[in-house]
Amino acid sequence: MTNTTKRVLIIGRSAPVLLDAVSILRERGYAANATNQVARVLDDYDMREVALVIFGGMVPPQAKEALQTEIRDLNPNVSFIQGLGGIAALLAAQVKEFFDGTPPGVKYDADNRVVRVTHTSTARVVVEGLWATFEPLPEPIPHSAIIADGVLAPGEHEIAIPDEVPEQGSYITVRVAERVSAFQIGEPPQSIKRLAATQSAPTPEPVTTQLPWQ
């Protein structure tokens, strides 16, 4: 299966995040579209063509559950995952992780903020920190930092997460050779949690991409 047959629909809120995620995924060969028009998903897309649906955290739970049921009725083979956060690069990493599988021997120790990588052959390992700030609320402004990038010998390695990666609203991706895993480091800020829980975020700029499923 080539990436062009891996059709992905992202359902979220933030127009910039959705458009950036689609751009990244298409550059990597995936057939991707995105929308924040939750009530129109079944009108705007033929869900029989979609392999993976990613939901953003701002999608109301009841709407998400209803859509999952309706989409699965149309396409029993579809898969669903929850986006870890509103960062385009993070969503793209989750897509790759879903389709390609996680690299073996990668664990995140939350108590010590350490990534442990154990592998049996020499491999390039890249650890990237990703986080968002919210000024103004609720639009995420992405930030990133390369924590480690090098060829590691077989064995067990520990990679510490630096203080530059904040406690809140942060994530890491760990790439070993051609596979990647995404981890949540810190919970979203309380202000974002409240907006998601109360569904009180302002109406976003509407986005519905209609790029061909090629």
Nearest 5°: phi and psi at 61?
-55, -45
pLDDT at 1: 44
For residue 189, is pLDDT > 90?
A: no
What is the residue extent of each domain of the chain? Answer: 3-99, 102-188
Complete edge-to-edge strand list for the sheet that includes strand 31-35: 31-35, 7-11, 52-55, 79-82
What is the architecture of the domain spanning 102-188?
Sandwich (2.60)
Which of 3-17, 70-84, 95-109, 148-162 has the least mean pLDDT?
3-17
What is the edge-to-edge ordering of all strands in the sheet holding 141-152? 141-152, 123-133, 170-176, 179-186
pLDDT grade for 48, boundaries at 50, 70 and 90: very high
pLDDT given at position 214: 72
- Report the run of H or E that residue 98 belongs to, with start and end: helix 88-100
Query: Comparing 100 with 137, which gets the higher pLDDT?
Result: 100
Mean residue pLDDT of the chain comes to: 94
Burial class of residue 175, CB neighbours in 10 A (0-12, 13-18, 19+): buried
Mean per-residue pLDDT for 66-82? 98
Classify domain 3-99 by CATH architecture. 3-Layer(aba) Sandwich (3.40)
Summarised one tens digit per residue, pLDDT across range 106-144 is 999 999 999 999 999 999 999 999 999 987 788 899 999
pLDDT at 96: 98
Q: Is the C-alpha dihedral spanning 190, 195, 196, 201 positive or negative?
A: negative
H or E element that contains 15: helix 15-27
Q: Are 140 and 197 in contact (CB under 8 A)?
A: no
**With 70 as the cut, is the pLDDT of residue 4 above it?**
no
